[in-house]
Structure formats: C-alpha cells, structure tokens
Copies of this chain bind each other. A is one copy, B any other.
C-alpha cells in the first residue's frame, strides 16, 4: 500500500513519506517519530492530511546519522550536527592501522572503478592460492578491510555492492568447478531472517566443497520453521548457520537456541560468523565455530565419529 512513496511538489523537490524513509535509511518509523519528538530532528513538513513529508537533504542526513550510530556514536550527541559536520566525523574515522599491501591494492582497484582489472586481479589471486587459501586468507581480510573502508567513508555503498557481486561470481564459479562433490556429511547451509550477507555463506560453502562434503545451500534468510522442514527432506546431518557482525550477538544466540528446539537432536547445529566470534558458550547441542579452520576440524571430528575407515556411514540414516 506504500505506492506513491515519493511526491513531486511544484518546485520539483522530491518528498519522501515515512515508509520510504524507513526503507532507504533502515531507521524504523517508530524511531523516526521518537527522534522528532525528543530531539526535534528530523522535522518534516506535513501534507494536507498531517502526514510527514521528508525532504531529500533530511534523508541524506539520516543516512549519515545511521552510519555514525552503527559505528558507535550516540544519537543525542550527533543528531543536531549539520550535514557537513557529520561528513567530517565520518572521514575522521580512519582505521588505526593500514591494510596489508595486497588487500590495499585490491581496494584501490575497486575505488578506480576499473571492473575488469578488479575482476582479473581477484581471479589471479584465487588461481595462485587455490580456493581454500583464497577464502580463508584473502576473502576474509578483504571483507574486514572493505567494511572498515566503508565505515570511514572511503568507499561508497555501490562499490561494496559491486565487490559483493563479483566475489559471488568468482566463488560460485570456483565451487562449481571443485572436483569432489557430495560425500558425507550432508550440510544444510543458510542464515536466519534478518541476516542478508551472502558472502559468508559462500565462503563456508567453498570450504565445504574443498573438503568434499555435500552442501545443501539455501541462500540467506530461511525462517527457522522452513529449516525444520528441510532437514528431513534433504536428509542432512548438520545445519550450519552464518551470522555476520551486523547481527546483535544476543539475537544470533536466540536464533540458534530456537532452532535447537525445532530440529531433532541427531542433527547437529553449527553456528559461525562475526556475531559469534567472542561468544563463550551457546545453547546445549549447538557447536560454535569461531573460524573457517574451526569448521574444518569440526568436519574431521564428525567424520571420525560417524564414518567407518572405508568412508561408509556407521548408522545410515
């Protein structure tokens, strides 16, 4: 029902209703209204029906605020800064130390907008190192430093989108051409609703592919109930979930605990990713993986427990 999300006034100044601002900034309607009540910003004009109409400059300031808040600033401290002041705060956010030279070189290529050179450099890095090394070293470092560069305003969102797309191309291509496919265990790989990052999932899938495990990849954001139904349908041994650091730690743990109540206990649950990196203990029957190497050990452990020396299952499911 949010069709006419933008209006065109006489002066051709586009105005956004509250639903459009929520979509474009990620700030909930409740938050937008309570900021207006408390801090006086944003202070949108009203249409003839007393509904809020935000201007483009307001929307741009809100996006800067969101970025700074995600980086640790408090709303009340920065909400009355001007847009240029906010931009300055963002650029002041330079990381403590510089990225390693080979990572920095790739970021520079991304900044140069030379797509071809960017793609071929990544491909060469993959060829030189092999898939496993490429994923566990180069890609994880790239993710970290590109995130930093985004927070410090060095690279734009669309550059990050482009990075994500091309890395997906490369990883999916590499996974497809990995020779061994489909021996035990069978791993269902996905994330819960709210976790949109796909690169982490693809990195896991790549490691599983190099280890020769059968991967049932469902992409991102599968509701827990659907995972429950998929487990018997695909006869999986393990459900692996990825939680990026964009997810609050407590939400990740709650999701794992909920899933544990839904699926049978002879199916293992593995959780990993940035959100869980500093967690000590999760729910009973949930295995925390703090790195991709951790997962390779867990895979070995599973095979020792469940497979005979000839590779056959001890108890076929």
Contact = CB atoms under 8 A, between A and B. Distances in A.
Contacts of A176: 169, 173
Given A24-B193, A224-B24, A225-B60, A258 B6 contact: yes
Interface of chain A, main secondary structure: helix
Contacts of A63: 225
Interface in A1-58: 1-6, 8, 12, 14, 23-24, 56
A5 B254 contact: yes
A294 interface: no
Contact of A219 (B161, B181, B225): B161
A162 B59 CA distance: 37
Interface string A209-223: 000001011110011
A157 interface: yes
Interface stretch (A100-108, A128-136, A229-237, A265-273): A229-237
Contact of A257 (B6, B156, B217, B226): B6
A113 B59 CA distance: 46
Nearest to A56: B225
23 contacts: A1-B248, A3-B250, A5-B251, A5-B254, A12-B261, A14-B258, A14-B262, A24-B225, A63-B225, A113-B234, A115-B216, A115-B234, A116-B181, A156-B230, A156-B233, A157-B222, A158-B229, A159-B233, A161-B218, A161-B222, A162-B217, A169-B172, A173-B173
Interface of A: 1-6, 8, 12, 14, 23-24, 56, 59-60, 63, 113, 115-116, 156-159, 161-162, 164-165, 168-169, 172-173, 175-176, 181-182, 190, 193-194, 214, 216-219, 222-227, 229-230, 233-235, 248, 250-251, 254-255, 257-258, 261-262
Q: Top 9 A-B pairs ranked by shortest CB distance? A: A3-B250, A158-B230, A161-B218, A6-B258, A23-B193, A165-B219, A169-B172, A24-B223, A3-B251
